[in-house]
Amino acid sequence: MIIVADNLRITLPSIQRAVEEMDPDPICGMVEDCVKAGAHSIDINSGPLSKGAEEKMTFLVNTVQSVCDLPLVLDTTNPDAMAAGLSTCRNRAIMNGVSLEKHKLEKMLPLAVEHKVDVIAYLLNADSHVPADAAGRMEVAVALFDLLQQAGIPSDRIIIDPVVAPLVWQDGNRQNMDVMEVIRTLPDLLGEKVKTIAGLSNLTSGAPDAEKRHRYQAAFLPMLAAAGLDIVLMNAMDPAIMRLAATCGTLVEESIFSWV
């Protein structure tokens, strides 16, 4: 399983301040820690970046790629920031992301085509809501997969995100069973192996403490791995979860087993 660190996010006060002051040090420190922890990729979660979006995303991407050559996931809903980030990125870039929402298809998708990058496709309805059941998620997956290919994104650059539901949602646990079914079923449904990604931290949004956050994530991650998940977006600074991800890999990948 490929691990994308979700640690670099503008909602952290230290990162927000660093971006405001164009101070690379806290960002570099965070990225270096994630790399040391074993992350395979870094998600740059800049948020919408309402003011000075292009300059800030350019600064973020340049800062991150000054200390690591891992693939970078550009995670912003702001098309101007995305365009600036993609233009700046020398590392392999992944756009996070598009969906059936009109503004994503109009503003984001053309950027993915233009920059020939991998693109994360969220299984949301056009009205921005999560589909009601597994069948709904699959319909959206088929529609989005076709649409992206027609737009010029080859299938091996599409990464499906079935959208992990926070447990605190009314039917969050049932929805997450759908999420696993979708991951398992996608290759048959789409007629080819297509990469999948899931945001593990979503599961525990609103968790009252770190122990519960860790415990529920540790129970859910192996379930996702067994369903066939390729890429997990998660906290790379939780050593127990990082070890668990590696252990899950040993269980689900067809490699020669040895006790590691």
Quickly list DSSP for 73-91. Answer: EEE-S-HHHHHHHHHH--S
Of residues 83 and 225, the one with the C-beta less far from a second copy: 225
254 binding a second copy? (CB under 8 A): yes
Handedness of CA 200, 206, 211, 212 (dihedral sign): negative
Nearest distance from residue 239's CB to a second copy, in Å? 12
Nearest distance from residue 223's CB to a second copy, in Å? 4
164 binding a second copy? (CB under 8 A): no
Determine the interface stretch with a second copy among 22-30, 73-81, 140-148, 219-227 (rule: CB under 8 A). Answer: 219-227
223 binding a second copy? (CB under 8 A): yes
98 binding a second copy? (CB under 8 A): no
Of residues 109 and 198, the one with the C-beta less far from a second copy: 198
189 binding a second copy? (CB under 8 A): no
Helix intervals (H) in the chain: 13-20, 24-37, 53-67, 79-88, 102-103, 109-115, 134-151, 172-190, 200-203, 210-227, 239-252
Determine the interface stretch with a second copy among 19-27, 103-111, 156-164, 175-183 (rule: CB under 8 A). Answer: 175-183
Amino acid at site 199: G
Cα 18 to its chain centre, rounded Å, is 23
Of residues 77 and 247, the one with the C-beta less far from a second copy: 247
Residues 234-253 touching a second copy, rule: CB under 8 A, are: 243-244, 247-248, 250-253
DSSP 8-class letter at 9: B
Q: Are strands 231-234 and 72-75 parallel, antiparallel or unpaired?
A: unpaired
Q: Is 195 helix (H, G, I), strand (E, B) or coil?
A: strand
188 binding a second copy? (CB under 8 A): no
Neighbours of 28 (CB within 10 A): 16
Determine the interface stretch with a second copy among 35-43, 156-164, 170-178, 187-195 (rule: CB under 8 A). Answer: 170-178
Residues 51-90 touching a second copy, rule: CB under 8 A, are: none
Asked if residue 162 lies in contact with residue 196, where contact means CB atoms within 8 angstroms, the answer is: yes
Size of the site for a second copy (CB under 8 A): 34
Q: Which residues contact 95 (CB under 8 A, 6 or more apart)?
A: 74, 82, 86, 108, 111, 112, 115, 117, 118, 119, 120
Residues that bind a second copy (CB under 8 A): 167-168, 172-174, 176-177, 180, 207-208, 212, 215-216, 218-223, 225-227, 243-244, 247-248, 250-255, 257, 259
